[in-house]
A and B are shown apart, each in its own frame.
Chain A
Amino acid sequence: MTLGRAVCIVLASATVCAAGEPRDLPSLDRALGDAIRTYDPAAATAVLSEVRVARSSSGSPQLAELHARAALAVAELLRIELEELAPGEGEQRRLLGLRIDAAAEDGLHVLDGLPETSELQRTRADLIATMIRSDFRAKKYEQSFRAAVERALALDPRNARAWVSSAKPYLFAELEQGGDVVEAVRRLDRALELDPRLESARLLRAVAHDKAGDPAAAERDWQVALRANPQCRPALERVGPSP
């Protein structure tokens, strides 16, 4: 167990003790959905803590799956905070990095004990993606990320989230290292065909359009994302609140 995971468990126990009566699975699921929708890492962390405690007395696969999703939500929301850090805030970057890695490792650990599904592999890929924050880490995790994405799509070619995951390397890599915005947009289009309400696909496509030099298309996606979720932080930061 890493130091980060130990810290998470101690914090989780402390949070649950402070919160009082534990919530049931549907409540936790809803709470996690709310945390994701409002881009609230503290709320997601609270859910993750509760799920961890709940799992210590229950072997429910649904709870384990929620555990992995909560870990992913925490990692991704913290990752957004990390991206917003100003250069030179090394100490904060390192602390956030530790928390992201701890959440991601926790989630990956949970996934190891679950039966393989497309969504499980997609979650694995996205958990790994949160740990890729530098060239060094890209080299370290790239292969396992690609393997998980390919497996997810092989298991279910209609998994919209897996298509979003598969678009990430094309969107974020440099041209010389396999970056291809057109391919990223194609994959994100596919994801939105399968699930037009998928916020992550919409946001990434906006970024992709921006990168491809099509600000009008990007603006349309930002606006759609904002209409679907008025609390969508990336869209709010980009275009401001919708009228």
Chain B
Amino acid sequence: MSWRRAVAIALAVLTAAAAVAASRMRVDNRLERWVDTDPGEARRYHEFRDLFGSDEFVVVALSGEPIFDPDSLDAMVAAQERLEAVPGVTRVDSLAVVYRELFGGEDPEALEAEATSTPFYRGLLLSDDGADAAMLVEVDPVAEPEARHRIVADLRRAVEPLEGHGFSIELVGSTVLVDALDELSKQEALRTFPAAMAASLLVLALLLRSLRGMIVAAACSGATVLLTLGLMVVTGRELHMVSTALPSLLWVLALGNSIHVLQRYQRLHEQHPVDDAIGEAVADASLPCTLAALTTALGFVSLVTADMAPVREVGVFAALGLLLSLPVNLVLGPELIRLLRVPARRSVARAGARWSGRAVLRRPRLVLAAAALVAVAAAAMVPFIRVEANPLAFLPSGHEVTKAFRSVGERIAGFHSLEVVLQSELPWTDPRLWPVVDGLQARLEASPVVAKVVSPLDLLRKLRQWQRGFDAADYALPASREEAEDLLAALDGRGRALVHRLVAEDGRTLRLSAIVNEMDEGKFLALVASTRRDLAELPGGVDGWVTGMVLRLVEAQRGLVSSQLRSLGLACAVIFVAIGFGLRSWRLGLLSVPPNVLPVVVVFALMAVAGIPLDAATVMVASVTLGIAVDNTIHLLTTFQRERVLGGSRRLAVARAVEHVGAAMLVTTATACIGFFSLCLSAFVPIRDFGLLAGSALVVALAAALWMVPAMLTVKEKVP
């Protein structure tokens, strides 16, 4: 047995094992995955959690029935008890618990007076008009995806009986959102990959005019995908909202090189026996395929400079996948060709490539002028790209979770928080500190995106009111520190637990929790900026900072722009050096820059024009586009170099190179584009945008490779 056959069999066995491992792939969209960018921020956030507990909560919004009706309250109390019994729920705050604990579950009028006579509950547990209510369910922040899904399902079940009482129920909050993302990405992984595969195979079969050829290409791409997913599972990785695109991505990328090998084989097999044609095709394609795979892998590797761990992970595994595709395409693929006896066929793309090459070679200056115009126009649009930081925007606008967030935000409460931590030299019960805290609270509440600020001073006011007999007139701060401390000393265990969610054990570290009812990044960051300004102006002896899971996520996303530029710059440098090194010509290395940078600039322009934000998924487009576009250029330039060695003018060498590899470039791009465009079927917005952008970029990349490269190579030669 030849070594090639042995390697091919080994790869087939490994692929089978990887398929078994890949079947155990899990999906995890926890927000924590996205925010390990700033160790200082992470430390502060963990310090905050240690001091005050979780800031992750689910809001159960109730509407459609009179809240203070005895039957409604009974139903809410029953729901409260079911919610409290859900595993993973650490605390439930609602009017039901107030009704149960303070009013013994039997004085609805008194509860209504308590709930509506002061601002304490409004914007948090009760709407401004008193018509809608919310139950705040704090959940275990370390919940795993399955546990989270179970919690959300259990929460829905726990509140379902309320619908029987006429209530409309909506669940919002980061846990619900992440669960929806989990579910959607799972569905999308199952939907977009088969769609991409089917579309690619259809186009491939049509262009190759060979079912057996298509089977070889599909087997090679499939093996690459399975090996990569298996490797992810073995190394303990999971699919997340970005990496769900990885199977489709690897599918089309691996397909490129297998098509180049196949096309070379088919052309050679027209005149040579199978074995000779295979040997010649592999020898001919090895350098360009290796160089193309390496440069594309380097493009992906450049993502390791991204701030977000999931993006880095995609970069690493996409690069590993491409490296795995090399032995698959150059060893397993040829053995499959031999096994299946793939017939010789004249590709329908050859005529198109030949016509394209001739047209460009007649007017190279015009082509370059048009390209320059496009580049300038596109570059002018780049500054208008917006950076998105709205996880809600990952879901389609009609998704029930999206609608629930909008509805709850408008009517009742917020669904995430900006946490402000104050540290004072004075104990929090000292009245000298209160104007500072109240002032900050008032400024936070002045923001249109803040539904409510939960402050320990409001709790103190409420304790005073309760202590004095529930009269709303007594909802005021105590007259002295002694009175405040007496109020706190009289608290039972439940009351103390409530205080400790807002005041740390040291009594000098306070939490103001601004409940935000808006996912718009601009407005949220404006709130953060103004709060940071306010904190910078705090009087001596008081220090403060802002934190919170959503803030960390937003700031991590903001860091994506610089991260993107950094990884792109690195990718450019590495790729073009690699091309120059691989072709042993720094001139060709330099020449490859414009036709490969142009698609990237056009992609950015497209993002700006279409209003597609730079987010967790689209952040990959530039580097990926660069890596893929460079494949075409490498195949063209290596063939051009070989033709030049054979003699004749540069124009002749370019024409022959385009004729030899242009068809494969067309087939590869058409197949890849179909794969990417099929991602537009995804309901997952970032993946949809990514598919659109990457597909469009490949069209531009093909145009640049087929038109710009020949034009640049021949622009100095006179047209005969």
Contact = CB atoms under 8 A, between A and B. Distances in A.
A93 B101 contact: no
Nearest to B71: A91
A213 to B, nearest CB: 17
Contacts of B34: none
A135 interface: yes
A237 interface: no
Interface stretch (B74-82, B510-518, B613-621): B74-82
A88 B104 contact: no
Interface stretch (B181-189, B355-363, B486-494, B633-641): B486-494
Interface in A117-148: 133-137, 139-140
Contacts of A139: 466-470
Contacts of B105: 87, 90, 93-94, 134
Contact of B107 (A88, A134, A174): A134
Main secondary structure of the interface of B (DSSP, over half): helix
B20 interface: no
A177 B487 CA distance: 10
A176 interface: yes
A97 interface: yes
A87 B104 CA distance: 10
Given A88-B81, A176-B492, A135 B74 contact: no
Contact of B74 (A91, A174, A177): A91
B234 interface: no
B70 A90 contact: yes
Contact of B101 (A88, A135, A140): A135
B469 A140 contact: yes
B538 interface: no
Interface string B70-113: 11011001100100000000000000000011111111001000
B466 A135 contact: yes
Contacts of B489: 176
Given A87-B81, A88-B77, A91-B71, A134 B103 contact: yes
Grouping DSSP codes into helix (H, G, I), strand (E, B) and loop, the A interface class, with mixed when no group exceeds half, is helix
Given A135-B102, A136-B103, A176 B70 contact: no
Interface string B492-503: 110000000000
Contacts of A97: 104, 106
A231 to B, nearest CB: 28
Contacts of A137: 103-104, 107
A34 B119 CA distance: 52
Contacts of A136: 102-104, 107, 110, 114, 470
B484 to A, nearest CB: 14
Interface string A90-124: 11011001000000000000000000000000000
Contacts of A90: 70, 73-74, 77-78, 105-106
Interface in B108-125: 110, 114
Interface-central residue, B491, B492, B493, by most chain A CB under 10 Å: B492
A88 B78 contact: yes
A176 B103 CA distance: 19
B121 to A, nearest CB: 15
- Among A90, A91, A174, A175, the most chain B Cβ lie within 10 Å of the Cβ of A90
B77 A177 contact: no
Given A90-B70, A93-B104, A134-B106, A177 B490 contact: yes
Contacts of B78: 88, 90
Given A139-B470, A140-B469, A176-B490, A134 B74 contact: no
Given A91-B70, A140-B469, A177-B490, A134 B104 contact: yes
A88 B466 CA distance: 24
Nearest to B493: A174
A174 B77 CA distance: 23
B333 to A, nearest CB: 67
A106 to B, nearest CB: 19
Best-surrounded residue of B81, B102, B493 (most CB of chain A within 10 A)? B102
Contacts of A134: 101-107
A30 to B, nearest CB: 34
B108 to A, nearest CB: 8
A53 B102 CA distance: 37
A133 B490 contact: no
A242 to B, nearest CB: 34
Contacts of B492: 174-177
Interface in B428-459: none
A135 B494 CA distance: 13
Contacts of B110: 136
A140 B110 CA distance: 11
A35 to B, nearest CB: 24
Nearest to B110: A136
Nearest to A179: B492
A139 B103 CA distance: 11
Most chain B beta carbons < 10 A, residue from A87, A97, A134, A177:
A134
Contact of A176 (B77, B469, B491): B491
A88 B492 CA distance: 23
Best-buried of B73, B105, B466 by chain A (most CB within 10 Å): B105
A145 to B, nearest CB: 13
B75 to A, nearest CB: 8
A134 B107 CA distance: 9
B206 to A, nearest CB: 66
Nearest to A175: B492
Interface string A152-182: 0000000000000000000000111100000
Interface string B50-78: 00000000000000000000110110011
Nearest to A140: B469
Contacts of B491: 176
Contacts of B102: 134-136
Contacts of A87: 77, 81, 100, 105
Contacts of B81: 87-88
Interface in B293-350: none
Given A90-B70, A91-B71, 15 more contacts: A87-B77, A88-B74, A93-B106, A133-B106, A134-B101, A134-B102, A134-B106, A135-B102, A136-B104, A136-B110, A139-B466, A139-B468, A139-B469, A176-B492, A177-B490
The 6 closest A-B pairs by CB, nearest first: A134-B104, A90-B74, A174-B492, A97-B106, A139-B469, A133-B104
5 contacts: A87-B105, A90-B70, A134-B107, A140-B470, A176-B492
Interface of B: 70-71, 73-74, 77-78, 81, 100-107, 110, 114, 466-470, 489-493
Interface of A: 87-88, 90-91, 93-94, 97, 133-137, 139-140, 174-177
